[in-house]
Structures are given as structure tokens and as C-alpha cells.
Amino acid sequence: MSNVSETQKINDLKEALKDVRISDSIEEKSHIGQIMSEVYEAMLDKGYNPVNQIIGYIMSGDPTYITSHRDARKKMARISQDDLLEEIVNYYINNNL
């Protein structure tokens, strides 16, 4: 896969995750978006590909796909994988179809 393609996927995921919501609560919406932003940045800090790591986490349920750097793993554990996947798919459908 080319670097351009990888960069585009990372940018697409970052855009998709910036407004992740799992409930109608305004407080929870901003909280989830903040968690995803912090987890994303922690993975970039450590040199990981956040797209691949988040996909691995969702598919396997293995929390070791998320770095413990800056407590990202603990933060991610606050969001259910099902809710995260649902929001990503909803975002994609709402913005691409």
C-alpha cells in the first residue's frame, strides 16, 4: 500500500472519529470525541498507525492494540467496541452515500 493511501486513510479516520457519539447526551458526546482524539494522538506519538490499531482492537477485542502511552488504553476501554464500530459506520454512511 502506498504512503499516500495510508495517509489518506489516517486522515479519513481522524475526520470520522472527531465527532464520535454513542448517546444523545451532550456531555457524553464531547467526552467520547475527546477520548478518541486523545487515543489517536497517543498512537501517533508512539509511531503506530491508528487506523490499523483501532481496526485490530475492534475486530479482536484485544486491548493491546491500543497503546498504554498517555493512558490511551484505559481511555479506550471506556467505549464499547460495538458502539465505536456503529458510530464509525454511521459516520461513513452519512457522509459518503
pLDDT, tens only, 19-30? 655 444 445 555
Nearest-angstrom CA–CA distance, 35 and 74 = 10
Amino acid identity of 52?
Answer: N
pLDDT at 48: 96
Please answer whether residues 66 and 36 qualify as being in contact, where contact means their C-beta atoms are separated by less than 8 angstroms: no
Q: Where are the domains of the chain?
A: 3-96
pLDDT in tens, the chain (97 residues): 456 676 677 777 777 766 655 444 445 555 777 888 899 999 999 999 998 998 899 889 999 999 999 999 999 999 887 878 777 787 789 888 8
